[in-house]
Every structure is written in structure tokens, then in C-alpha cells.
Structure 1
Amino acid sequence: MFLLRLCLLTGIFMVAYACKTPKSATDASDIPGISKGAAEVSQAVDQSILRLQKEKEIKSYQPSARRDFDILHTDLDLEFDWKNQSVLGKARIQAKPHFSPEKILVLDAKDFELGAISLVAADSIQKLSYRYDEKQISVFLPREFTSKDTFEIEINYKAFPERNSGRGSDAITDTKGLYFIDPLDTIPSKPTMIWTQGETEHNSKWFPTIDKPNERFTHSIRLTVPDSMVSVSNGKLVKQENLGNGSRKDYWEMNLPHAPYLVAIAIGDFGKVEATHGDVPLGYYVEKGFEKGASKVFENTPKMMSFFEKKLGVPFPWQKYDQIVVRDFVSGAMENTTASIFMEELRLDEREALDSEWDYIIAHELFHQWFGDLVTTESWANLTLNEAFANYSEYLWNEHYYSSDQAALKLVAEMEGYFAESEEKKVNLIRFDYNDSEDMFDAHSYNKGGVVLHMLRKYLGDEVFFRSLHEYLKKHAFQSVEVHDLRQAFERVSGEDLNWFFNQWFLSKGHPEIAIEIDYSEPENILITINQLQDLTDYPLFQFPIEISWYEGKDRRTKQFIVKEGQQSFAIENGTPVDLVYVDEGKNLLARRTQNLSNSQFLKQFKESQLGVARYEALDSLASREAKEELSEVLPLALKDPFWSIRETALGYLQSDPEWKEKIQGIEELVYDLVENDPKNSVRSAAIDLLGQWASDKYFLTFKRLTNNPSYLIAGSALMAMIQAEEVSVDSDLINSLASSRNFRIVIPVAEYYLKQHVSGKGGWFNENLTHLTGEGLYYFLGYYSEYFVRLPAEGKTQAITNLMAILQNNSKDYLRMGAFQALLGFAEDPETIKLLEKAAEKENSTELRNYFNYFLEMLKE
């Protein structure tokens, strides 16, 4: 599962640290003025409180699911009532008791209408009694079966996933399990389709099963679908049968066992792009017309598979691998075995795909095919055993295919995501006291988990780390695991007891809060002191390796030390005098740190560090401090930096202050050179944005030429820069020739032009784009949409409010509901609109969004 989140990566190194002073336990009898009797009473009270806390922990403990039965194979025959959005199914389940003799089989089945349930034998069918509470079926078997017995039951049912809509988590925003998208084909711009999303335990909303992650079975699925549509499921398509009534039955066979939440189907009018990795067939499914874009978006899949296989020493374990792009998906993506499903943002045409940067999410779901699908967490408490590896695969692929600098900055972004969450929430990575399994899908399980794996790799070295992963996968293939299985794999390979590492990082909460002091009084033997400041009554005293580095000319020197104490000092014995050393220069340690560095030290860091992430830190720190003198020296260097993110970031800083154009001699020429020649389209786009701000009239013809660039990033920025011109007017014919574009990078500048020029008669154009745009593009467009109808209400203000309310009330994505709310605030002078917003706030499922809505509504009342 990919955790979809909107992140703004700015100021990631300059963080205010709220550090607590370590506390020491003091016996009450030692406190002056307290008698021994009072101390005994105090201790008794403390023990009573501790007992109550332990009782609470025991009551909230979420164990791995008890295994009374093993499902061996499930056979499903499914039809779909598109009008009523229900599933008509027949399930045959082959099972046996796990160990003890059993007579009652309990299956998860949420909001079903049940027909006959029968025991099926080779020569007979015996109807069975059952009890059903709308969530589980208790099937009464005719006799007691032992673990040596295998039996098969048949269940006829009708499932109503629409009854199960509800708030999930930040990762999974809805919980129906199976989704009908525009089932009656009534929305002009939206295709009709069905897709599923089973994690955590939502597949039992469309077929009966034991819906727990430590269950595992093979299955066959027969899907009756319109003959105009394509179906995709786990495993292989073994047969298609034309039913002669406009329908077809597709037979899918999954002959390798996997967990229930990984079962999936997708049905729609898909086009398919075919590829291969060795003998493994690959399919990229997307709406028809987007096949060329899909070829580009997913083109690195075979390379990723080869890379991961080589790193892990384990071949891709499944029969095939399909990647399906659907509409209105309730997450970023989901790693269903052999059939990952992705959000619609990956639906790009051939030109849009030129700027595709979706490798990270593609790598994430692909790595899950090993970590999560082949080897599966036995309980949601151990979720990080799935998600930490998937998150870390993004680092591995960046490091391998792009650059170590890009991988390092990605890791820092992951840390910052975790640190942001840890301000309000500090929990163990492995935790059994969650209220709901959806609570496990957070920046701890994903972000922190991935960084912890990175630290383990850095500590043990690549050879031990990847050989241990090989050992873990081979030993536990097609099994469920807990954290100790992972630890023992690393211990078997490394020969080292790693309880200390797993106890503090997986089984305890928090992270080191460190203060760094460097004594330069002896330049040939610099002394470094590390103080751990975290509250030791709540968090561990951490043990961790830390790298110290410095430069002697162009040579980078390093030493590694192990921090084990609350305060610890190291003399690095450098020999050659140096005036600046770096503590964890590569940002490999998950720790909040404080260190007093001067502007001149950050300037030197930018100039001499060979690590892009450290140069980024220096640039970001100087900009945050508004160190004008140092920035005047750094920014021209940053525009020529080999790491594209530093060039792009420097352009953003230059844009924040128009005075830089005059302060730094030759800076405009450097920016123009990036416009014309930078190899990274996003850098060229940012450079165009800057020149558009500085001198839109001067470069008008350059911008006009670049509106024909194949990259939408470049063309869109060039068009917006033209519109900013004061002395030169944009030709309306150019706008008209671009107005039919459906890419938001062109749509937004066109909308800006219509607003700036007060062009009437474009209400239909705005409504059309509101319908066609999705995801990020729709979010950015909503403000322009609102402003147009506020300025020109005769163009259809009432309908515009209705359209925005539909997004606010019905869209599955939090950030789009937030965008619609913000857009509707433009109509705040209308009392009826305020009433509608208040009703929407009451019905909002997300607590965060509801609070956000109510905050602004209260402000309006004032």
C-alpha cells in the first residue's frame, strides 16, 4: 500500500527542537519532609496506577488472529448488478482445521444476503445450518473435523459493498472493499469500472473468507463481465467463455497461496500495454487512448525487477505482473499479488508522460511483491514489515538508477514526514495496542520503518544486509512473519546479537534528540561531544553508529564511532589541521539534532561537501536565516550545482526576493542558460518561472517559442510567463489554440489569462475543465474556477456552487475536498453558501478536515 500524502519539501533542515531534560527516578523516602509511612503509601499508589496501566494495555492488546481453520483454496463465481451496485456470488471454500478438532467454521462476510450453504462432497450436497450477524457466518458442520480432514462448503450470497462506505486511514480513505465507478455510465468524462481494495480486512465485503493477514490460500475467480470490458485479477487468465448475451466469463487462476487482503479484481474498458521481464509477462492497463503514456510511465518496470532480483537473490516469485490505473482510487496504490492497482494520477498521455516521475510509487508496489505478498506480516501490529521495505525500495531505486544524492534527499524527506507526525504521536514501530488496524498506516510504519532499515544497512554493510534479506525471504516464503523472524535472519547471517537494535528501533518509541558540540581548539585532534537529550523516562537511551567526516583538500576522510551513553566524546585524531568537521554529513541517522553553526561554516559546507544532501542543507539553512552576504556567493554556485534539486531549490529562493536580480552580477544570464540548456525539465520550468517574474517582456519571444516544447512543465511555465508581461499582449489566437488542452499545466495559465483579461463567455470552458481535471491538477484549478464565477456571476454562479459542493461532499480525496471548501469560501457573502458549508462540515468524515472547516466558518462569523 502506498501512503498518499501531499508534501511541501521546504526548510527541511531548519527545525526547532523541543528537547526535554532527562529525568532521574527519585525514591519518595529520600525527599525531605516525607515520612517513611507516607513514602510507603506513595509507593502503593504508584503500584496501583502501574497495575491499572498494565490492565489497560492487556485489554487493548491486539493479538495475531487465532488459527482455528486453514483455507486451502477458494473458488468464486461472480456476477455484478451494476444498477444496484451489488455482487452476486457463489463461493466454494476448501478448508481444514488448523490443529484442534473443530465443528463450527467462522467466516468473515460483511453485509451479505445469504442463500443456501452446503457441504459439498464428491457424491452429495448437504445443506448446513448457520448463524449470521451481518459481519460473520458461523457454519455448523455435520460432524467434528480434525486437521487430517479436508472439506468443501458452498455459499450462495449477495454482497452490498456500498453499505460499507466509511472513513479508513490516511493511507486508505474508504473501506467498501469493492467499488463501482459510474456504474450506469451517467458521468460524461468518467469511465465505468469496478475495482477492489482489500487492505486491511475489506475483501470480506465482496466474498466470504477468513479475512486475516495470517491466512493464506490459492484461488480461482470466474467473472461475468460485459464483453466490451477487460477483467484483471491475480494469477493467470486461463480461459474466456462468450456467453452470447453481451457478456463473457473470464476464468482467473491463482495457483500460489497468498493472503486474503491481496485478492483483487479490476474490470473496465482498459487498453493493455504488454511487456516482459524474462519469462514473466507484464501488463500495463489504462483507459484506452493512454496506452502510449503507460508505456512511458511504467517503462522502467523490467529494469526494477532485474535490479531487485539481483539485490535480493530471489527471482520475482509470481506468474505475471500487471499494473492497473483506475479512477477514484482510495489510496496511492495497492500491492495486490500480481496485480497492483494505482491511482488515476498515473493515467498520462504520451506528452504528459515525458515529465512522469512516478518511479517511486511503481518501485514501492513492486517491492511489496516480495515484502508483503511473498512474505506477509502475521498481524497488523507488524505492518512495518510490509511497509518499511516498500518505502525503502524507493531509496534503493533512486540510489541505483538516478543518484545517491537524490536517494539521500528522499530519505531526509521521509525523516521529516516522521518527525512531523512524532510531534503529536510517538509509538513503537511494532505495536499491539492500536484501536483500529487502520491506525497502523502512518508515518511510523512507513517513513520511520524505511529509515530504520537504512540505518541497519549502514551498520551491517551491504553484503550482510542484502544476504540477510535473501535469507529472510527464502526461509519464510509463502509464510506469515513477525519482527523476530526478521531479526533472527540478520543474526544468522551477521553472527551478531541484534536485540539492542530491534529493541530500541522496532520495539520502543521515539528517536534520539542529540546536541552536538565540536571543540576546534586543537585543529589536529578535534573533539566531538554528543549529548542525548530525549526524556529517558519515556524513550530509550539509544545506541547508534555515527559517521564523522572532514576534507583535506579534495579528499574526504571519515571515521565511525558508536554512541552508547547520554554524553559521549570522541577525539578524531585527524592529524592534518582542519577547521570544519561534519557529524552525519550524509544524513543517515534518524535523530533530531541541534548544533551551533555559523553562516560562514554553512558557506564552507556548501563549497566543500561532496554530498548533495549536505550542500542542500547549507543552502536551505542560509536561506532560512536570510544570510544575504553568504547567499550572494552561494546562489550563483547553486545554479551550476551537479545536483538538480539544488539548482531547482536555488531558483525558488531567487524567486522569493526580486532584489537578487540586481544584487548578484550575472545571475540573470545564469538563469537564462538554465532555461535553454538544463537537462532536467523541472529545473527549466522553475527558471522560466523566475525569468517571467523578473523580465517577462524582455523574454517574451523566448517564452512564446517554448510554449511549443514537448514538456508540459516547460510549455505551461512559458505560457504563464507570457501572460505576466505588461507591455506585450498575448495573442488571443495562441490562447484559443491552447484552450482545448486537458493538461492542467496549460489549463491553469489559460484560466489566468481569462481572469486577467476579464474574458466573458468562458463559463462553459471552466465547467468542462472542472469535469475533466483530476488529482493535483483539479486541486490547483479550483481556485481559478471559483474566482471566475465570483467575478462574473452571470456565467453561472449557482451552478458553480453546486459543482463545488458535489466535490466537497463526494470526492474520496481529502485534499480535493479541502480545495473545494477553499474555493467555496469565495462565495462566503452568500448566506445560503455558508449554510451548505456548515452542513458539509458536520458530515465530513475526516476529523482534521472537519476541524479545518469549522475554524474558517467561525472566522467568517467574526
Structure 2
Amino acid sequence: MSTRREFALPGARPHYNPDRPGNVEHIALDLAIDLEKQCVSGTCCIRLRCVADETRVFSLDAVELQIEAVRTNGNPAGFDHDGAVLRVRPAVPAAAGQVVELAIDYRVEKPRRGIYFVGPDADYPDKPVQVWTQGEDEDSRFWFPCFDYPGQLATSEVRVQVPARYQTVSNGVLMRIEEYNGSKIYHWHQAQVHPCYLITLVVAELSEIQDRWEDIPTPYYVTPGREEEARRTFAKTPSMVAFFSERFGVRYPFARYAQVCAVDFIFGGMENTGATTQTDRCLLDEQAAREIRWPEDLVCHELVHQWFGDLVVIRHWSHAWIKEGAATYFESLWREHEHGSQDAAYYRYQTAQAYFEEDSERYRRPIVTNVYKEPIELYDRHLYEKASTVYHMLRHYLGEAAFFRAMQTFLSANAHRTVETVDLLQAVEAASGRNMLPLFEQYVFKAGHPQFKVRFEWDSEASLAKVEVSQTQTVDEKTGLFDLAISLGFGWATDVPPKCIPVRIRQKEQTFCFPFEQKPLYFSFDPGNPVLKTVELEVPAELLKNQLAVDPELMGRIFAAQALAKQLTPDIARALGTVLLDENQFWGLRAEAAKALGSTKKDYAYAVLREAAGGGDLRVRAAAIKALAEDKSPETFAAIRPCLSDPSYTVSAEAARAVGKAKHADSRALLTQVLASRPSWNDMVGSAALAGLAELKDDPAALEAILERTRRGTPQALRLAAIRALGSAGEGGENQKVLDALAQVAQEAQFSTRRAVIAALGSLKSPKALPLLEQIAREDPDGRLRRSALESVESIRSQVGQDRELKQLREALESLQEENRSLKSRLEVLESRLPSP
């Protein structure tokens, strides 16, 4: 059952860019950092060219800044500041075309957003001292006065004084380093225009690993001692720069490309112009480098943004899909180049599944919408994952050459300019002659996606293939009928591409008939899966087994495996098992076969999965263990238990979760042993062990083991996992220890900690969690967390209402059952009084 809610929260409204008093040409920050006081002070100079007549007031965003003095063109200016907006009144109104220099002396102490101070304390004495900024979406206003929206582009420079032991990283080129009174002054200059949310500053003790592509430096900066991890993680960067320069037809556009790893960073990465900030969680140890892929995807994603987002800048947040969809989609392009077409196809499939989950379980919205409370709310799986599929559909419908020609046209025509969605459409039309507005209207400007039910039937007497296609999505103002060109594939031979026949699907129900000399070996709907959709297949098992065995398209085989699982018999299980156990098959297909078998919950399916869990590709083993997690049999527990000590982090983590779900007499002891003795990258295995302990809901000792690791001093990754585990362990919200622990942690300032608390409170599914969630929704400084808290409040209230209704129905049913028992008893008494025949 869908739990979908409305995207727009109460209080949401349409947002537009503000009026533009002038075009910002240059931003110069001259700052000093006081690490002990967690203070930034200095001067922000903004040069702009007025476009309005007789401009008497310049309104800048300046949240929680202390404004000390303001000058315009060197002369003192009047100003007022309400804590959010700084209004500057020049002594003489500015005329259209006039250049105005605004100079604002200011300071900010212990900022809550925008710029973050990280350092050691009594609980974490080894944490390095760092200062880093994060501007997206509208957080630059928390560390310097600015016109804080993406429609203004300017060159920039950052001149910053820091203690001599620290280094800095910022946009552009390091012009000079000056020695001053025991400090160093770093002067960075960014020569190409960019929006203020991409202005960055990092202050830290850093090791620099030098690298380059052609004449472009590509250095990596990390905390000293982590140099080898940095080399493992970022080594492919020059190859990526070369690859995308060639594929986009536009050379890497900036003077350098730096990547700096920040401690406690609140995102995975941030594509600041020429100087990406990455989370230090991406740094790989030797074992992780053999099995963990997401850091490579992260490096790729942020690099692509240097073209889509930094070279070409969105004019308004509602069009952020242009950059985020591109960065997500071109991750799969790199995978295609580096790891093969099957890996890329499977990655695109997983990406689409992430969007489907949000669409079903959270909300449905158009990709482009300007109705929200804060822009950061848009940064979801619609903006990233669904948007990425739009790029893939463009590639499919345009063809390879025209698609990349369109990308080159878009980037070249709009370089160092701002864009909206219409600019991408115009570039596509200019490069290919194709009008893709119909596709965009269905997938970008409207919500949802097509949901198909497809039935295949072979008429042997007429030698006719009959395909019935129904659109089963609810037709309303958000999601109507789709009008799409989709191919139907018919295969007759092994490892030979199927015969593809394009059809136009635009009605609620359509039937297509095709005469063939002989019955197809298999049938495929939308071969290659280029179109975003969900499909329910009704195809004879014989054809599905053939497709699973011989379809050259990976996605056709995966969909066949899923459809076969719904018709499972011992014979079908053997067919799926053959694929699962075949080391020559692509690992993603084998993993999906494992998932399909596990979904059936059949004993003979579990027997195959136990065999797959014992050896071979670690990704397949992990998938098999995950699929076995619902089986509580002694045989499965015996098969999973040894995997807890597997060298693979992925395998042992899945084993830990499965051991918890088994609720075996030994589960707690095994998982606490893992916590005590199994080190892993980012505490990946220990975190899974905590999730496993959370499954033992009636075990006080398991809860204590989780609570112990929510205390400060626990390594951060493990502590966050423990906080989240409290939500599962305390589901129902009756345990006061859980509520008290979460209430205490909620008072901490760190973003990731507060996010974990919200997740845990939502998992409690208890009215007792509502007061704390409501407090967070009112008071938290971060819009993402306020939204998450509000969604949890809504979910719990909805669940409470459903529980109340279910209770009333249960009581009514029990009343009826009682009346029925009474009537049955009275009838038996009456029957006993009747004379015997």
C-alpha cells in the first residue's frame, strides 16, 4: 500500500528570483579566521553594475551576521539590518549603468550554517581542526553578505588570514601567500564567473597529493596520514577529466580541479567551482577499494558538475535537475567506459529503483516545481535519480551521435551563463532537429511515470503474436496517460538481438498483433529498458525461462527473473538457481536472481540461496545472504553464521543484519562479538551489527549494547548507526530509555547526528516521539532536517489514526464474533429441545 504524501508542506509557496538591482561583477572577501573563538571577521566587497534607475536601496542576504560598517564607492553609507536582510542606502542614488562598489565590514561568531568549525573536544580528542564552507542551497548568506541566489554570476577572490600551521583551499588559482605576524594570508582568485553558492573556503592542516591532466592540476587534499587512501580514492580523476572533456566536446573549463576531504561534511560532496569538497568518509582502505564502488561514483558526479552546474549555471533552483540529473546520469556513462555496458545498465536500473521508492513511499512531484518552503527540499530522488533517466531517454530517442552533439551545443552555447529547462530543449532541437518538449511535459513538468501491465500470448493456429498493453497508473491531474514510442522485442535465437518493432502507446488499453512464421523463443517489452516505467509482465513461464537463458539484454533477463519468481515452481527455482550459481554470468543478474528467489519464501528457493552464500563473487554472496534473512531455519542460520568473519565488509555486514533477523539464541552474543572485534571501513560491519541487534526487540541486553554506543566518544559512523538503531529497537515507543537517549542526542549541534535522531524518532512510530519531532521541526536551523521531522510527524499521526481505526474495526469484529457465538449457542440449545426424528 502506498504511503505517498503531498510534496508541498504547509506554508509552501511559489518562489521566484528577486528583482535584480544590478549585475554583480566581482565579489572579494578579505577575512581573518579565529579558530579558538570560531569567528570569521573582515570585509566583503561587491562590485555591481546597476540596471535600475535611481537605485536607492541595495538589499543583500546577510543572516545572523554582525554588520559593523558599510561603504559605497568608498563613502560611508546608511544601512539597517534585521538579522536576515541588509539594506544599504548610498548617500546618492545610483543610476542605471553606474558601477557601485559595496564594502561591508562584518563578523560572525559560532555560525549555525554556511561555515562550519570542526575540532577536538574531550570526547573526540583526535578530531582535526578544520573550517569549511557549504553554500548550496542558500547558505552563503550565513558567512558573507551576498545576493544569495544562483541567477547572479561574478568573478571572485578570497583573501584569508589563518594561523601559520594551516593551509587553505578555495576557488581558482592561489595568487600568493604572505607571512604576517605569525599567520599566513592566502590569496585565491577565480577568474571565471560563478554563483555565490559555489564560493568555497577550507582551512585545515592538509597534505597535498599532486596530480594533473595535461596542463590542468588536479590535486587532492587530506588530513596528514591519509595520503595512501587519497591516492586509492582519487587516482582516476585525470582519466575522468580526459574522458568527459572528450565526450562532452568541451574541454575542462577551469584553471585547476582540486578535491579536499572535510571531516564531518554534511553532504557526500559539493562541486564548488574548481575546488570540490568531499566527505572524508569516501577515503578507501585496501579492502574497501576492492569492493566499494560509491566513492568512484561520487568523484565522477562532482567532476561532471564542473560542466553541468559550474560552467553552465541554473538560473533558479526549480531547474536544478539540469545539473543534478546530468551528474547522476553521467556516473553511468563513466561506468560504461570503465566497467562495461552491463555494469552501466544495472546501475541505471538501481538508480530508477531509488526514484520509484520515493515516488511510492514518500511523495510524487514534478521534477520542475517552484512550490516549496526552502530550495533544499528539491534535492531528492526526483531531482537526482528520476532526472538522470530523462537524460538516458534523450540519449535513447536522439541516438548516440545526436545526443552528445546536443550536450556539446548546450554547454558551448551557455558557457558561463545561467539556464532554465527551455535552454536544454533548445540545444537539443538545434543539434538534432528534434522537439523533445512532449517527453519533457510528461516526465519533467508533470509528476509520475507510466505503469504498464503487459500480456503476451501466442496464437499457434494463426501464427500470431498478441501483445496487450494497459496503462494502470491512476489518471489524474498529476499523472495522466502517457504517449510514448516503445519497442516490442521478439527473439528466436540464442545471443542474437531480438527483432524490435516500435509501437506507439498512448491509450489506456491497446492490443498489438504480429504474424510470424514461428513462435518466438522469448518476448521483451522495451528491450534495454531505456524508458522510465514500471511493468507487470504476464508472459508464459516457458518464454520467460528462455529469456532468462538467452536474451542478450541484461535488463530483459532481470525482468524475466522477477516475473518467474511470481510463478515459482521447483523447476523455475532450478532455472533461477542455474543463473545464480553461474560464475560466468554478470554479478548484477545473479544478485537479482537471488532477490527473486528470496521473495518467494519457499524452502526449495532458500536451499539454492544457501549454496550461493557459500562462495564466489562477494556481491552475489551478499545478495544471497540478504535474500536469506527472512528464513528462520537452523540450516540458514548455520550457513550465514560463518560469514560474520568473512574478509569482505559487504558480506559480513549482510551476515550481521541477517543474524539479527534470525532471532536465534546465539544472535546477541555473535553480534556483540562482532562489535568488539571486527574493525571495518567506516565501521560498516559494526553498524550492520547494531542494526542486527535492533531486531532483538525483546532483549534488554541487546538494547543496552546499542545505547552504550550512542554515547559521545564512540567513533562517529558507529555512533550514528547506534542512534538510528534505537528507532528500530524501540519501535512502539514504550521504552523510556530510548526516548531519553534520543532527546539528549537531539540537543547536539552536528548535522549528521540530528539527522540520525530524526530517522530514529520516525522509526519509533509512537505518539511519544511527536513532541521532540515537533520541536526539531520548529527550531532546527537546517531546512532538510525540519522537513524530515515534519514528514515523520505526519507519518506517525497517520499511523496513529490508522491504528485507531483498526482498533475500532477489531472491536467491532470481536463484538460481531461474540454475538455470533451467542446466537450459535442459542441455536444449539433450541436444536437440543427439538424432538428426535
Identify which range, 453-462 or 220-229, moves more after superposition.
220-229
Is 1:264 paired with 2:200?
yes
Partner of 2:811: none
Question: Is the aligned partner of 1:580 residue 2:522?
Answer: yes
Map 1:100-115 onto structure 2 (within 5 A): 100=53, 102-115=55-68
1:592 aligned partner: 534
Contact 1:693 1:721 in 2 (8 A): no
Residue 255 (structure 1) aligned with residue 208 (structure 2): no
Paired with 1:366 and 1:180, the residues of 2 have a C-alpha distance of 26
Q: For residue 606 of structure 1, what is the aligned residue in structure 2?
A: 548
Q: Which residue of 1 aligns with 2:304?
A: 367
1:233 aligns with 2:170: yes
Matches within 5 A, 1:616-695: 616-623=558-565, 626-640=568-582, 642-651=585-594, 672=614, 675=615, 677-678=616-617, 681-685=618-622, 694=635
Deviation digits for residues 531-577 of structure 1 (CA, Å, limit 9, x no counterpart):
44552655454332212112111222232424264255444454443
The superposition leaves residues 273-293 of structure 1 with CA deviations (integer Å, 9 ceiling, x where unpaired) of 332222221122333332212
Partner of 1:40: none
Distance 2:64 2:366 in 1: 34
* 1:500 aligned to which of 434, 438, 449: 438
Shift of the 453–572 alpha-carbon distance from structure 1 to 2, 3 Å rule, reads: farther
The amino acid of 1:645's aligned partner reads: G
Counterparts in 2 of 1:285 and 1:624: CA distance versus 1, 3 Å: farther
Answer yes or no: is 1:213 the counterpart of 2:150: yes
Determine the C-alpha separation between the residues in 2 that align with 1:703 and 1:217: 55
Cα separation, 1, equivalents of 2:692 and 2:451: 50
2:490 aligns with one of 545, 550, 566: 550
Q: Match of 1:290?
A: 226
Structure 1 residue 204: deviation in Å? Answer: 1.3
Structure 2 counterpart of 1:92, from 37, 40, 45: 45
In the TM superposition, residue 224 of structure 1 has moved relative to its aligned partner by 1.9
Q: Which amino acid aligns with 2:485?
A: P
Q: Cα 1:736–1:233, aligned 2, differ >3 Å: closer, same or farther?
A: closer
**Which one-letter code corresponds to 2:776 in the other structure?**
K
Q: Deviation of residue 696 (structure 1)?
A: 7.8
Q: Tell me the amino acid that sits aligned with residue 495 of structure 1.
A: G
Q: 1:416 aligns with which of 339, 342, 353?
A: 353
Secondary structure of the residue aligned to 1:95 is: strand
Q: Deviations over 1:606-665 (max 9, x none)?
A: 22222222222232343455544411331132221622123334455667899757986x
Count of matched residue pairs = 765
- Aligned partner of residue 201 in structure 1, secondary structure: coil
Deviation of 1:836 after TM superposition, in Å, equals 9.0
Tell me by how many angstroms 1:67 deviates: 2.5
Residue 439 of structure 1 corresponds to which residue in structure 2?
Answer: 377
Q: Percent identity?
A: 24
Distance 1:575 1:80 in 2: 79
Residue number in structure 2 paired with 1:280: 216
- Superposition pairs of residues 317-356 of structure 1, within 5 angstroms: 317-356=253-292
Identify the match of residue 512 of structure 1 among 425, 450, 455: 450
Q: Rate the CA distance shift 1:803–1:471 in 2: closer, same or farther, 3 A.
A: same
Which deviations, in whole Å up to 9, do the C-alpha atoms of 1:449-496 show, x marking residues without a partner? 211121111011010011011011001100001112111111111123
Unaligned runs of 5+ in 2: 5-11, 778-785, 808-837
Counterpart secondary structure, 2:218: strand
- Structure 2 equivalent of residue 70 of structure 1: 23
Indicate whether 1:812 and 2:765 are aligned.
no
Structure 1 residues 493 and 840: CA distance shift in structure 2, 3 A:
closer
Mark the CA change 1:297 to 1:620 in structure 2 (over 3 Å): closer, same or farther.
farther
1:528 counterpart residue number: 467
What runs of 5+ residues in structure 1 fail to find an aligned partner?
1-14, 19-58, 166-175, 829-833
**1:780 shift after superposition:** 6.1
Q: How well do the aligned residues superpose, as a CA RMSD in angstroms?
A: 4.5
Rate the CA distance shift 1:818–1:508 in 2: closer, same or farther, 3 A: closer
User: d(CA) in 1 for partners of 2:430 and 2:181?
Assistant: 59
Aligned partner of 2:792 in structure 1 is 849
Contact 1:838 1:857 (C-alpha < 8 Å) held by counterparts = no
- How much does 1:766 deviate? 5.6
**C-alpha separation between the residues in 2 aligned to 1:370 and 1:98?**
29
CA shift at 1:297, angstroms?
1.9
1:808–1:821 CA contact under 8 A, matched in 2: no
Does structure 2 retain, via aligned residues, the 8 Å contact 1:180–1:193?
Answer: yes
Give, in whole Å, the separation in 1 of the partners of 2:215 and 2:490: 49
How far 1:300 moved relative to its partner? 2.2
Cα deviation 1:296-319 (Å, max 9, x = unaligned): 122222222222112111111111
Does structure 1 retain, via aligned residues, the 8 Å contact 2:613–2:639?
A: no
For residue 133 of structure 2, the aligned residue among 171, 191, 196 is: 196
* Cα distance change, pair 820–667 in 1 and its aligned pair in 2 (3 A): closer
Alignment of 1:559 with 2:500, yes or no, is yes
Structure 2 CA distance for partners of 1:181 and 1:823, relative to 1, 3 Å: farther
**What is the CA-CA distance between 1:432 and the residue it aligns to?**
3.5
Distance 1:591 1:688 in 2: 29
CA distance in 2, matches of 1:228, 1:350: 30
Partners of 1:699 and 1:363 lie apart in 2 by 35
Matched, 1:404 2:341: yes
Cα gap change, 1:659 to 1:413, in 2 (>3 Å): closer
Equivalent residues of 1:639, 1:651 under 8 A apart: no
Q: Distance in 1 between matches of 2:426 and 2:245?
A: 22
Partner in structure 1 of residue 88 of structure 2: 139
Q: SS where residue 90 of structure 2 aligns?
A: strand
Matching residue of 1:130: 79
Aligned match of 2:428 in 490, 512, 515? 490
Q: Cα offset for 1:143?
A: 3.3
Q: 1:823 to 1:718 in 2, by over 3 A?
A: closer
Whether the 8 Å contact between 1:644 and 1:683 is mirrored in structure 2 is yes
Q: Describe the shift of the 1:344–1:98 C-alpha distance in structure 2 as closer, same or farther (beyond 3 A).
A: same
Q: How does 1:630-779 map to 2 (within 5 A)?
A: 630-640=572-582, 642-651=585-594, 672=614, 675=615, 677-678=616-617, 681-685=618-622, 694=635, 709=647, 711-713=648-650, 738=677, 744-745=683-684, 747=686, 767=709, 771-775=713-717, 778-779=720-721
Within 2, Cα distance between the matches of 1:750 and 1:591?
Answer: 36
Q: By how many angstroms is 1:580 displaced?
A: 3.4
Residue 259 of structure 2 contacts residue 277 of structure 2 at CA under 8 Å; is this kept in 1? yes
Residue of structure 2 in register with 1:458 after alignment: 396
Q: Which amino acid aligns with 1:130?
A: F
CA distance in 2, matches of 1:183, 1:656: 47
Structure 1 position 782, deviation (Å): 6.4
**Cα displacement string for residues 104-135 of structure 1 (whole angstroms, at most 9, x for unaligned residues):** 33222122221221134xxxx32112233322
**Match of 1:387, as an amino acid?**
E
Q: Structure 2 CA distance, aligned partners of 1:75 and 1:686?
A: 52
Partner of 1:9: none
Which residue is equivalent to 1:387? 324
Question: What's the secondary structure of 1:143's corresponding residue?
Answer: coil
Q: 2:245 aligns with which of 305, 309, 325?
A: 309
| Alpha-carbon spacing, 1:822–1:738, altered in 2? closer, same or farther (3 Å) | farther
Q: For 1:663 and 1:803, how far apart are their aligned partners in 2?
A: 39
- Contact 2:598/2:605, CA 8 A, preserved across alignment: no
Deviation of residue 157 (structure 1)? Answer: 0.7
Aligned to 2:417: 479
Provide the C-alpha distance between the structure 2 equivalents of 1:623 and 1:818, rounded to a whole number of angstroms.
Answer: 36
CA gap 1:542/1:329 in 2 versus in 1, 3 angstroms: same
Measured against aligned partners, the alpha-carbon deviations of 1:704-739 in whole angstroms (never above 9, x if no partner) come to 9x75x4x44457779999999999xx999x989946
